[in-house]
Chains A and B, each alone.
Chain A
Amino acid sequence: MSDASAAPEQLPGADILSDYTVPPGTADELFDAENRMRPVWEPFLSRLADLTPDEISERIARGDQYLRDAGVYFRRYSDQTPAERDWPLSHIPVLFPEQEWDQIAAALTQRADILERIVADIYGDQTLIRDGYLPASLLADNPEWLRPMMGVRPTSGHFLHHLAFEIGRNPDGSWFVLGDRTQAPSGAGFALENRRATSRVFPGLFANINIHRLAGFFRAFQTALGAGGPQGRDIPAILTPGPGTDTYFEHVYIARYLGLMLLEGEDLTVENGRAMVRTVDGLKPVSLLWRRMDARFADPLELDEASRIGTPGLIGAIRAGHLRMVNALGSGVLETRALMAFVPRIAEAAFGTPLMMPNIATWWCGTAPERDYVIRNADRMTIGPALTTNLPFDASTVYAIAGKLGDPAQGLLPDWITRNGPQLVAQEAVTLSTTPVYDQGKLYPRPMTVRVFMARTDQGWSIMPGGYARIGMSGESTALSMQRGGLVSDVWVVADAPVANETLTPTETQQRLPENPLPSRAADNLYWLGRYVERTENKIRLLRAYHLRLEETGTPEDARVSHIAAYLQSFGADVDPATPIPPRLMLLIDTATGCASKVRDRFSVDGWIALRDLRRTLTTLEKTTKPGQDCAKAMDVLLRMLSGFAGLVQDNMYRSSGWRFLEFGRALERASSTANMLRSFTSPDAPEGSLDIAIELGDSVITHQRHYLGDPTRQSVVDLLALDIHNPRSILFQLDTIRNLLDGLPHPDAPNQMPPLQKEALRLHTELAVATPNHMTPDALHSLERALFALSVDLGATYFR
């Protein structure tokens, strides 16, 4: 038994291992059964042992920084409010020799083929049911068995294309499967990010140990999906439930990495049996969806009618043979926990291919002999719902552990099992192997399972040489210690000889990919992101002006102060000394962030972080800021942060059509709010000093001083803020921007004439270009606002439907 406290002194890392005590009766990844360090770990451990605790902490911080910079987060649901938290990376990878990994690969390849045969039978002839290998009620009662998919053969010829397996190691060193993930397995992208972060913690090792790269796996699957191909082919897409889902980051990440479109159900429509993407350039066909959405939500017409995230008619497109699904709708039925009780026998007796790797011992309590066996042996089992698709260690699906019922009101265990038999499944209470976790200078053994990913390619199943390990936080090695709240770590598959340094790009000659068409929904969100960011800036300037005047005059009764207050109030931003920063401001930022969250795949990580920082800063300021000078300064801070955001958009964002919509939104909002502001602050009724405020709100104080002698007049203010083509704050400047942006947008419907949107923008631009300040009466400004509103509506009708 491995008892590391007895480890000989010459072992690498003897010091760091001094507290590494493997629980009795448990296999360990670092030490074999004879308490010898497994050779694959030696170079890693000796390298680790050379580092001081401070150096290790510094490297760990570097890896964490990478994850934060890359925007890797994990969405958690607590108190009904979704919150993002840092990705819980354990920085010590789990190492396997290539030979062992090859055996795992062979066994899981066999299992993948068996699962494919089972699911094809379930949705086809159902001989397994008729011949008694599968109880009919496991399907009939199963929400994952989708009746509309009966008899529908996938166009690709296969139901399963991307799988994950959760595997664990027995005390005797052999492997077993804890769960099959066949619906829409997550984690392949996280595995990639773990690898990147871990390689920043241990950069030297990556050069010196022969670690298999992950890119080859992704490249093979990319080819199988038909992505990254030549122009003209339609683009495969990832179908995501949207930003509300806990793995959304991964969807964004994989879409970017593999060059796939990221679509939500709303982006799609079905026409004549073909799935089409609504884009700003019209409907574009899509023939493959890598589905990250649970099947029952995919089509509200034929599946869950309450689904708001699906696409009506999607099953029709599949039935018509024009849409390939990765994986087929209905594949989730294979995740049913009770099915584990039948897979071994199906493999052996029905298919004649005994499993190379067993799965966790499982008993369905729907038949008397199994039920009796479970009652007699319940003390070494966990019991849960037969039809759940959750993994065995998910606490929410465990009713009884070691012969004890979680809910005593259910009475005695044997009666309860007899009463509810067909609804129950029992699984062996397994012991998992342990692997090292680093904590403050020492390594400790912690239980783990490994998630292994497989993808179907033209050459058959391809296995990711790596993956990630899920690590429990307690010293116990039961499966239940793997509940939520644990860590994840990278998995290294180490070869004896150097491995090819693979990247995603196949050859040296890089081929430029066509720009994916911009889905209408993304355009819509980018446009409104632009508008709300600009609107936020506008309100911050108003608040600053208010508090500067309040400081100056010392009273909210002052005519200028109350004029600004009334103006703010007209937007629902009630400001007074008690609420120096109205809640409205946070609402605006939240709305902008909401838009940004829906276009994460098209929006830079830095831009996202800038918005988050803005929100965080405002949260702090809201608590502490006092009216007057203090608040004006706070608004200065926010304005500087916003100009950072604007700078990113201007200097760093690629000039795609997505960028055009974002900029369009900013320009239109600025034009409209400036017109509105001028109407109020240059009105003859406005209190004295309002013209100065108008220039300040238009951020043109210096410019005005430079171009006009003396105090501002209505004429000079309107000239500078409405009609000056060189002032980037003027209305005319915005219209000029809008016209340029429109020229770059697709106009599929009007090949031979100027499209209506451009005509209207030209008309507005021309009107303003030939106007003099005297023309710009409050009425004229008002009608300009209305025209801009109409332009926004037309833009929506043209591109966002």
Chain B
Amino acid sequence: MLYDLSLTLENNYASSTDNARNVIRILPPTLPGQQQLISGQIDISPSPDERIDRTDFFGNFVTEVAFRHPLTALTVTLKARVARGARALVMDLSPPLNGLRQELQSSTDLTPASPLHYLTASPRVTLDRPFRDFADDTVTATMTALQAVQAVGLRLHREMTFDATATDVDTPPAQAFKNRHGVCQDFSHIMIACLRSMGIPAGYVSGFLRTTPPEGQERLEGADAMHAWVRAWCGKEVGWVEYDPTNDLLVGEDHIVVGYGRDYSDVAPLKGVLRTSGGQTGTHRVDVIPVKEPRDEPMPPDCTSDI
């Protein structure tokens, strides 16, 4: 599927901020076999005095901008065209949790894709007791890793209520979990905490959802803003599996990946440190529109193999 996506992030600052420096992570990467960035452009207004485009440890695109002069508002816009392949059929060749643990113990891989980065607490995911209890109650000894991931995800989806008013971007996952209310960020952090508690490597994925569903299908939750879901490592054979706990589904061609990280703090779309006493307010608009594909529209080479 080919998408045109646009994103506008607008921040207004109560008092003008001095020497603002921000990092922006909104540009989808090309992921062999899954998605291809055909074109993409990030515009910043007002025009920054410094701009550095680079990638971070996990391979995400980062745009770093700095302003020398006081700033009262900042607008970031993204226009991109991305081709996204359909979900590969996953054959469940994943080991049970014991087997998974053994595979991990023998690993000496610390490259960005290694599951070892995703096993313990990270800045925004603490491994509190309630997560472990929830996971233990959900998963049986005979389940494979993939079954465990789906069981936890499904139960979370059933017990949690999507509620944009219940939490904000800094609400700790434990609190959202206690109240069983939250948004995609909370769903994802909670699921990550549960999976890590069982020894399943789990990471945070930021990205986009198509705005309007294909005909006859329900609109997915989280499409009017940037979205988040989970990826879990299910052994060498299966590798990483992406699962969207907000919508209870394995991620497919409706999802466009922007960033991979241990949790939100690694992939926050706009991070900034402000020297200001006042607060800030922000708005954030997303459109992800399928492009009508002419018959001869070239698909990215790897995208069709598993369909």
Q: Are A304's CB and B119's CB within 8 A?
A: no
Chain A residues within 8 Å of B120, by CB: 140-141
Chain B residues within 8 Å of A270, by CB: 21, 66
Q: Which of B186-204 contact A (CB under 8 A)?
A: none
Q: Which of A499-543 contact B (CB under 8 A)?
A: none
Minimum CB–CB distance from B298 to chain A (whole Å) comes to 35
Q: Is B109 in contact with chain A by the CB < 8 A criterion?
A: yes
Of B18, B116, B119, B273, the residue contacting A300 (CB under 8 A) is B273
Chain B residues within 8 Å of A271, by CB: 50, 66, 68
Q: Are B52's CB and A140's CB within 8 A?
A: no
Q: Are B64's CB and A140's CB within 8 A?
A: no
Q: Is B72 in contact with chain A by the CB < 8 A criterion?
A: no
In the bound complex, what is the Cα–Cα distance between A319 and B117 (angstroms)? 23
Q: Are B273's CB and A147's CB within 8 A?
A: no
Q: Which of A112-154 contact B (CB under 8 A)?
A: 126, 129-130, 132, 136-137, 139-141, 147-148, 150
In the bound complex, what is the Cα–Cα distance between A130 and B19 (angstroms)? 42
In the bound complex, what is the Cα–Cα distance between A147 and B261 (angstroms)? 11
Q: Are B50's CB and A136's CB within 8 A?
A: no
Minimum CB–CB distance from B59 to chain A (whole Å) comes to 11
Minimum CB–CB distance from B7 to chain A (whole Å) comes to 21
Q: Is B305 in contact with chain A by the CB < 8 A criterion?
A: no
In the bound complex, what is the Cα–Cα distance between A782 and B238 (angstroms)? 78
Q: Are A305's CB and B19's CB within 8 A?
A: no
A129-B108 CB under 8 A given contacts A140-B119, A301-B273, A313-B21 = yes
* Minimum CB distance partner of A150 in chain B: B57
Minimum CB–CB distance from A282 to chain B (whole Å) comes to 12
Classify the interface of chain B: helix, strand, loop or mixed: mixed
Q: Is A231 in contact with chain B by the CB < 8 A criterion?
A: no
Chain B residues within 8 Å of A435, by CB: none
Q: Are A140's CB and B116's CB within 8 A?
A: yes
What 1/0 flags go to B250-271 for Cβ under 8 Å of A? 0000000000000001000001
Q: Which of B56-109 contact A (CB under 8 A)?
A: 56-58, 64, 66, 68, 105, 107-109
Of A136, A150, A306, A801, the residue contacting B109 (CB under 8 A) is A136
Q: Is A198 in contact with chain B by the CB < 8 A criterion?
A: no
Say which size band chain A's interface belongs to. 20 to 34
Q: Is A434 in contact with chain B by the CB < 8 A criterion?
A: no
Of B117, B123, B265, the residue contacting A140 (CB under 8 A) is B117
Chain A residues within 8 Å of B23, by CB: 301-302
In the bound complex, what is the Cα–Cα distance between A266 and B120 (angstroms)? 32
Q: Is B110 in contact with chain A by the CB < 8 A criterion?
A: yes
Q: Are A137's CB and B119's CB within 8 A?
A: yes
In the bound complex, what is the Cα–Cα distance between A801 and B114 (angstroms)? 44
Q: Which of B136-190 contact A (CB under 8 A)?
A: none
Q: Is A312 in contact with chain B by the CB < 8 A criterion?
A: yes
Q: Are B123's CB and A301's CB within 8 A?
A: no
In the bound complex, what is the Cα–Cα distance between A511 and B285 (angstroms)? 62
Q: Are A136's CB and B57's CB within 8 A?
A: no
* Minimum CB distance partner of B58 in chain A: A147
Q: Is A269 in contact with chain B by the CB < 8 A criterion?
A: yes
Minimum CB–CB distance from A152 to chain B (whole Å) comes to 11
Of B21, B107, B119, the residue contacting A141 (CB under 8 A) is B119
Chain B residues within 8 Å of A305, by CB: 123, 265, 271
In the bound complex, what is the Cα–Cα distance between A139 and B116 (angstroms)? 9
Of B66, B114, B123, B275, the residue contacting A313 (CB under 8 A) is B66
A140-B271 CB under 8 A given contacts A270-B21, A272-B50 = no
Q: Are A148's CB and B116's CB within 8 A?
A: no
Q: Are B116's CB and A130's CB within 8 A?
A: no
In the bound complex, what is the Cα–Cα distance between A801 and B16 (angstroms)? 13
A139-B57 CB under 8 A given contacts A271-B68, A305-B271 = no
Chain B residues within 8 Å of A140, by CB: 110, 114, 116-117, 119-120
Q: Are B107's CB and A136's CB within 8 A?
A: yes
Chain A residues within 8 Å of B271, by CB: 301, 305
Minimum CB–CB distance from B48 to chain A (whole Å) comes to 12
Chain A residues within 8 Å of B273, by CB: 300-301, 312
Q: Are A316's CB and B117's CB within 8 A?
A: no
Q: Are A136's CB and B116's CB within 8 A?
A: yes
In the bound complex, what is the Cα–Cα distance between A366 and B120 (angstroms)? 15
What 1/0 flags go to B15-42 for Cβ under 8 Å of A? 0001101010000000000000000000
In the bound complex, what is the Cα–Cα distance between A43 and B56 (angstroms)? 62
Which of A132, A137, A140, A148 is packed against the most chain B CB atoms within 10 Å? A140
Q: Which of A301-327 contact B (CB under 8 A)?
A: 301-302, 304-306, 312-313, 316
* Minimum CB distance partner of B264 in chain A: A305
Minimum CB–CB distance from B202 to chain A (whole Å) comes to 14
In the bound complex, what is the Cα–Cα distance between A12 and B224 (angstroms)? 86
Minimum CB–CB distance from B190 to chain A (whole Å) comes to 20
Q: Are A132's CB and B50's CB within 8 A?
A: no
In the bound complex, what is the Cα–Cα distance between A137 and B123 (angstroms)? 17
In the bound complex, what is the Cα–Cα distance between A140 and B116 (angstroms)? 6
Minimum CB–CB distance from A407 to chain B (whole Å) comes to 15
* Minimum CB distance partner of A139 in chain B: B110
In the bound complex, what is the Cα–Cα distance between A490 and B109 (angstroms)? 46
A316-B52 CB under 8 A given contacts A136-B109, A136-B110, A304-B123 = yes
In the bound complex, what is the Cα–Cα distance between A136 and B114 (angstroms)? 10
Q: Are B50's CB and A137's CB within 8 A?
A: no
* Minimum CB distance partner of B266 in chain A: A147
Chain B residues within 8 Å of A126, by CB: 110
Chain A residues within 8 Å of B57, by CB: 147-148, 150
* Minimum CB distance partner of A134 in chain B: B108
What 1/0 flags go to A173-191 for Cβ under 8 Å of B? 0000000000000000000
Minimum CB–CB distance from B277 to chain A (whole Å) comes to 13
In the bound complex, what is the Cα–Cα distance between A316 and B21 (angstroms)? 11
In the bound complex, what is the Cα–Cα distance between A335 and B123 (angstroms)? 21
What 1/0 flags go to B268-286 for Cβ under 8 Å of A? 0001110100000000000
Q: Are A132's CB and B108's CB within 8 A?
A: yes
In the bound complex, what is the Cα–Cα distance between A130 and B273 (angstroms)? 37
In the bound complex, what is the Cα–Cα distance between A18 and B107 (angstroms)? 61
Minimum CB–CB distance from B193 to chain A (whole Å) comes to 15
Chain A residues within 8 Å of B19, by CB: 269
What 1/0 flags go to A220-259 for Cβ under 8 Å of B? 0000000000000000000000000000000000000000
In the bound complex, what is the Cα–Cα distance between A312 and B114 (angstroms)? 28
Chain B residues within 8 Å of A130, by CB: 108
Q: Are A129's CB and B52's CB within 8 A?
A: no
Chain B residues within 8 Å of A272, by CB: 50
In the bound complex, what is the Cα–Cα distance between A552 and B56 (angstroms)? 75
Q: Please, could you name 15 A-B residue pairs with CB atoms under 8 Å apart, sorted by A?
A: A132-B108, A136-B110, A137-B116, A139-B110, A140-B116, A147-B58, A150-B57, A266-B275, A272-B50, A301-B21, A301-B271, A301-B273, A304-B123, A312-B272, A366-B105
Sorted from nearest, which 3 A-B pairs have the closest CB atoms? A140-B116, A147-B57, A312-B273
Given contacts A136-B107, A140-B114, A301-B273, 9 further A-B contacts (CB under 8 A): A130-B108, A141-B120, A148-B56, A266-B275, A300-B273, A301-B21, A306-B123, A316-B52, A366-B105
